Copies of this chain bind each other. A is one copy, B any other.
Amino acid sequence: MAKELTPRSENYSQWYNDLVIKADLAENSAVRGCMVIKPYGYAIWEKMQHEMDRMFKETGHSNAYFPLFIPKSFLSREADHVEGFAKECAVVTHYRLKQNPDGSGVIVDPAAKLEEELIVRPTSETIIWSTYKNWIHSYRDLPILCNQWANVVRWEMRTRLFLRTAEFLWQEGHTAHATKEEAIEEALKMLGVYVDFAEKFMGIPVIRGIKSANERFAGAVETYCIEALMQDGKALQAGTSHFLGQNFAKAFDVTFMNKENKQEYVWATSWGTSTRLMGALIMTHSDDDGLVLPPNLAPYQVVIVPIYKNDAQLSEINEAVGKITAALKAEGISYKYDNADNKRPGFKFADYELKGVPVRLAIGAQDLEAGTVELFRRDTKEKKSIPLEGIEKYIKDLLPKMQQNIFDKALAYRQSVTREVNSYDEFKEEIEKGGFLLCHWDGTPETEEKIKEETKATIRCIPLDGDKTPGKCMVTGRPSAQRVVFARAY
Q: Is the CB–CB distance between B97 and A31 below 8 Å?
A: no
**Contacts A74-B30, A93-B94, A94-B91 hold; do A67 and B35 have CB atoms under 8 A apart?**
yes
Q: Are B92 and A31 in contact (CB under 8 A)?
A: no
**Distance to closest chain B CB from A414 (angstroms):** 31
Residue among A70, A76, A342 having the largest count of chain B Cβ atoms under 10 Å: A76
What 0/1 pattern do residues 141 to 165 of A give for CB contact below 8 A with B? 0000010001101010000000000
Q: Are A89 and B93 in contact (CB under 8 A)?
A: no
- Do A65 and B36 form a contact, CB below 8 Å, given A30-B127, A82-B106, A117-B108? yes
Cα(A97)–Cα(B89), bound, Å: 7
Q: Is A222 engaged at the interface, CB distance under 8 Å to the other chain?
A: no
Q: Which of A39-47, A319-327, A376-384, A422-430 contacts B (4 or more CB under 8 A)?
A: A39-47
In the bound complex, residues from chain B placing their C-beta under 8 Å from that of A94 are: 89-91, 93
Closest to A43 in B: B62
**Cα separation A27 to B130 with both chains bound (whole Å):** 13
Question: CA A38 – CA B72 in complex, angstroms?
Answer: 23
Q: Beta-carbon contacts of A304-340 to B below 8 Å, as 1s and 0s?
A: 0000000000000000000000000000000000000
Instruction: Report B-chain residues with C-beta under 8 Å of the C-beta of A167.
Output: 67-69
Give every chain B residue within 8 A of A39 (Cβ-Cβ): 62-64, 146
Q: Which of B27, B98, B118 is in CB contact (< 8 Å) with A31? A: B118
Interface string of A342-375 (1 = CB under 8 A from B): 1000000000000000000000000000000000
Q: Does A119 contact B (CB under 8 A)?
A: yes
Q: Which residue of B lies closest to A138 (CB)?
A: B342
Asked whether, in the complex, the Cβ of A105 is within 8 Å of the Cβ of B92, the reply is no
Known: A37-B65, A67-B31, A69-B34. A118 touches B97 (CB 8 A): no
The CA-CA distance from A98 to B87 in the complex, in Å, is 7
- Give Cα A150 to B167, complex, Å: 13
**Contacts A29-B66, A31-B71, A62-B39 given: A76-B90 contact, CB under 8 Å?**
no
Bound: A70/B97 CA distance, A: 13
Contacts of A99 in B (CB 8 A): 86
Range of interface residues on A (Cβ < 8 Å): 35 or more
Residue A131 CB within 8 A of the other chain: yes
Compute how far the CA of A29 lies from the CA of B87 in the bound complex, rounded to whole angstroms: 25
A residues 100-145 in Cβ contact with B at 8 Å: 105-106, 108, 117-120, 127, 130-131, 134, 140
User: A29-B131, A30-B71 known; A63 and B92 CB under 8 Å?
Assistant: no
Chain B contacts of A108 at CB under 8 A? 72, 91, 93, 117
A104 to B343, CA, bound (A): 65
Q: A57 → chain B, closest Cβ, in Å?
A: 10
Check if A468 is an interface residue, CB within 8 A of chain B: no
The minimal Cβ–Cβ distance linking A300 to chain B, given in whole angstroms, is 12
Q: Which residues of A contact B (CB under 8 A)?
A: 27, 29-31, 34-39, 42-43, 45-46, 62-76, 82, 86-99, 105-106, 108, 117-120, 127, 130-131, 134, 140, 146, 150-151, 153, 155, 167, 169, 342
| 26 A-B residue pairs with CB within 8 Å | A27-B134, A29-B131, A30-B127, A30-B131, A34-B67, A34-B69, A36-B67, A39-B62, A39-B146, A42-B62, A43-B63, A46-B63, A67-B167, A68-B151, A72-B108, A73-B105, A82-B97, A86-B96, A89-B94, A90-B92, A90-B94, A90-B118, A91-B95, A91-B96, A97-B119, A151-B151
